[in-house]
Amino acid sequence: MGFLDKLFGKKSGPPSSFRDRYPERSIVGEPDLKTLADLERHYPLPEGYAYRQKGQTVRDIAVVRQDDGTEFVFLVEEGILAFDVPRRREDGSWGKRTVEVLRR
């Protein structure tokens, strides 16, 4: 445990700076992806994740972890869809795991 952790205590969730570094909407760099159906066809998500349409454009779609409903914005670029999932490391600090889905 570091000095500041001893002084202020550890926080239970991911630090706000982790969430503050990410855009509010997904970034889609492939012009042929225009709908939710396009994403589902070309980028099928791993088990436990699904897409959620939150608005009118493809940028308003998010990836949702089905077990707890947590939403993640994603990036599509050069045949890869990727999103970061925060995780607790063994030492108690917070990190991220990047999930990547290749285009089909």
Q: What is the pTM of this model?
A: 0.78
Say which DSSP state 62 is in.
E
Reported as a pLDDT band with limits 50, 70 and 90, residue 23 is: confident
Reported as a pLDDT band with limits 50, 70 and 90, residue 99 is: very high
| Element holding 94 (H helix, E strand) | strand 94-102
- Ordered alpha helix ranges (H), the chain: 3-8, 16-20, 36-42
> 3-class DSSP state for residue 38?
helix
* CA angle centred on 65, ends 60 and 69, rounded to 5°: 80
